[in-house]
Amino acid sequence: MRTRLLIEESERLGQALVPVAESGTPGHINRDLVAALAGAGMFDRLFGSEDIAAAELCQMRQGLARVCTEAETALAVQGLGGSPIHLNGTAAVRERWVPAFRSGEALAAFALTEPGAGSDAANLTMKAEPDGEGYRLTGEKRYISNAPGADVATVFARTTEGAGARGVTAFVVPTDSAGLTPVTLDMISPHPLGGWVFDGVLVEPDHILGVVDQGFVVAMQTLDMFRPSVGAFAIGMAEAALKIAVEHAVSREAFGSPLAEFQGVSHQLADVRMAIEASEHLVYAAADAYDSGDRDSLTGKAAMAKLHATETAQLAVDVAIQVLGARGLESDSTLAHLYKEVRAPRIYEGTSEIQRNIIARELFRGRI
């Protein structure tokens, strides 16, 4: 039976990190926050001698998201960008970067998306052309978490034209490499998002992750583990929003009665609570499928988990703001912060529409 201990530990840590998070600038990397997460041993869990369980990752993200979305995102993005290096890098590359990830000294990014290739990731156009034993990368990556301030990126580029997903290779690219130009983006999401322009950036042969032309194996290995945890992040935000709404409904009176006694309010909150419970079951079922090696059902379960949880979080925040009324719209309120945070997870790591496509495909294959 799944324990909630790690969720509660992560929630307590998140509460302690709120002042560190608030000291940062929205939309920019907060290295003090990353260092604090490292000091608490959170990156030791991600980059330890043994692979972290997907269920553990979900619990960490859910607990942190209840109280400090900035800490949750800093943890998740470091894991997303660093895991391919941790799991697939050469000995020299792992020795250079993994200890720095664990200590918080180096920040990682997962550079898959391009201006013209988001959900259709097999349509990547960034070129990786042979140069001796290495490659030169030319193109652009955009909407990358931790960009452009990350120290190193896992970058996916096309090594074989016309081969779709089978012609992509994964590379380790330090961001101080010659020919790399940072791109800064001003997004409504509070966490850092940007990109890089690559102009013949040289990548040495020992900086190839996995096998040439099989970079999507590297990408899917990482995304399969992290996609359920996006749902866990969403659950944490939904729980935070619901808690605020319930407390307000109990204490706030209108027409001589607490808001909680009006069915128009209480039934909406009941629906949100039910949706959160359903999302939690879906998220941890997907995590358990990953941890047990059940790859046949994982894809469909992960898609259902991410879709249901992120849509539920959007609903929870919207309902909570409606219950609080004008108070929920105050710019410095927790709900206003959640309103900005909750929108992006319905897009990144596969939009809600893509998740429905995956679920339908797996359904007709008889896998779910």
The encoded tokens of residue 286 equal: 């997907």
For 147, residues 6+ apart whose C-beta sits below 8 A from its C-beta are 109, 111, 141, 153, 182, 183, 192, 193, 194, 195, 196
Q: Smallest Cα–Cα separation from 240: which of 143, 337, 166, 157?
A: 337
CB atoms within 10 A of CB 307: 24
Write the DSSP string, 208-275.
Answer: EESSTTBHHHHHHHHHHHHHHHHHHHHHHHHHHHHHHHHHHHHH-EETTEEGGG-HHHHHHHHHHHHH
Three-state DSSP class for 56? Answer: helix
The residues carrying an active-site annotation are 349
Task: Answer yes or no: are the C-beta atoms of 232 and 279 closer than 8 Å.
Answer: no
Give the residue ranges of DSSP H helices in 104-207. none
The encoded tokens of residue 127 equal: 């070129």
C-alpha to C-alpha distance for 255 and 275, rounded to whole angstroms: 29
Question: How buried is residue 187: exposed, middle or buried, by Cβ count under 10 Å (0-12/13-18/19+)?
Answer: middle
Give residue for tokens 């201006």: 115
Give the residue ranges of DSSP H helices in the chain. 5-22, 31-39, 42-46, 54-65, 69-88, 91-103, 215-251, 263-292, 295-324, 334-341, 352-365
Task: Answer yes or no: are the C-beta atoms of 28 and 200 closer than 8 Å.
Answer: no
